[in-house]
Amino acid sequence: MPIRTVYQATIEHTQILDERGVLDPALSKPGTPGILTDEQVLHLYERMLEARAVDERAFVLQRSNRMYTYPQNKGQEAAALGSGFAMRRGTDWIVPCYRENAAMVMHGMPWHHIYLHWMGDERGNVVPPGVRVMPIAVPIGTQMLHATGIAWAAKLRREDAVVITYFGDGATSEGDFHEALNFAATFGVPAIFFCQNNQWAISVPRETQTASETIAQKGLGYGAACQQVDGNDLFAVHKAVYDARERARAGGGVTIIEAMTYRLGDHTTADDARRYRDQAEVEAWQARDPILRTRVYLESKGLWDAQRQRAGEERAKAFATEVVRAAEGIAPPKPEEMFDHLYAEMPPELRLQRDTKRTSSLGQDPSQAGLRSEPQRA
């Protein structure tokens, strides 16, 4: 046979809770591993309200010159919370990009640290002891390499830990994505590559920045398990990540999950999406808002109503106010604090610089600073 098929594959798309807030009965049987209970959905919905309130308050802070450029998470709450809730706090690792605030907080990162980060205060990147969350990564794609390294270390140490790393659709056109995924899949590390496909790589639409019909299929070439889910469906996101986590724990290696979602705000507060996005497209996705969809579901179960919505929104607004107070009420940093979080054990030369506020080590060896002695005069 001169011609034969050597490889075939399909990419499945999963939706459990549709846009009308109706569950698929075949995919949501009670007791199925990874399927959320009503109590869990109620808990996550309240976290959605908090995340939206904190996000909207950050926008106001930026516009009033109290925060620098900020990327809103609005519209992507189900992707962050559903995935974060599926990971085990204190055991698994969260390696974020910059639209996973809610997942970071769920695993122990204080909300006001995220504010401090975008206020230009380096203390916002300080991770509390015992919290397995990496700092926010602004460079596109670099965090996937870090996640792969963490997962490889966990495998070598025989630790029961799984790493999830987040990125956008545009990041899959970066070399870091391909290098990280190739290494992770080749060495079978316990990692989940979670793409928040919000349809836009800043101002470039998905179909322009990649010829791939789906983002998920990019993992096929590396031997990863690949899946696409409705990213605004809390149930589908949680189930997909839960299954990928258990697969990794069992030695099954890497899974790439493409969560189809949409950023309802601008790329950042320095962007104006009205210049390149059709308003009709935005309105269509607004109707698929994950908060609206989850609320409709809870109302259909008798767990939520208009009165509870008003009370929940008020609690979320009050919570956002407390986050602002915590961030803006922090004492000014001391100059020596710039040394505190560079190393687990501070090298002697840095300790000397901190204590003397002088670059004594450079003075002892000027060549370290690239200095040269004065030329000989005739």
**Residues β-bridged to residue 192:** 164, 255
CA atoms of 180 and 64, how far apart (whole Å):
39
pLDDT digits (tens, 9 = 90+) for 325-334: 999 999 999 8
306-328 vs 111-118: helix axis angle to the nearest 10?
60
Instruction: Please report which confidence band the pLDDT of residue 115 belongs to, taking 50, 70 and 90 as the band edges.
Output: very high
Active site residues: 263, 267, 276
**In the predicted structure, residue 358 carries a pLDDT above the cut 90:** no
**In the predicted structure, residue 1 carries a pLDDT above the cut 80:** no
Quick one: average pLDDT of 197-209? 93
pLDDT digits (tens, 9 = 90+) for 54-67: 999 999 999 999 99
Quick one: average pLDDT of 19-41? 96
CA atoms of 361 and 372, how far apart (whole Å):
16
Quick one: average pLDDT of 180-197? 98
Which of 269, 331, 346, 369 is CA-nearest to residue 123? 331
Which of 295, 323, 293 is CA-nearest to residue 112? 323
The domain 13-328 belongs to what CATH superfamily?
Thiamin diphosphate (ThDP)-binding fold, Pyr/PP domains (3.40.50.970)
CA atoms of 239 and 85, how far apart (whole Å):
10
% the chain with pLDDT above 70: 95
CA atoms of 102 and 284, how far apart (whole Å):
24
CA atoms of 120 and 70, how far apart (whole Å):
11
Quick one: average pLDDT of 75-85? 98
How many residues appear in the chain?
A: 378
pLDDT digits (tens, 9 = 90+) for 232-287: 999 999 999 999 999 999 999 999 999 999 999 999 999 999 999 999 999 999 99
Instruction: Please say whether the dihedral angle defined by the alpha carbons of residues 359, 363, 365 and 368, taken in this order, is positive or negative.
Output: positive
% the chain with pLDDT above 90: 88
Ranges for all domains in the chain classified under CATH 3.40.50.970? 13-328
Q: How many angstroms from the chain centroid is the CA of residue 126?
A: 17
Which of 71, 73, 79 is CA-nearest to residue 269? 71
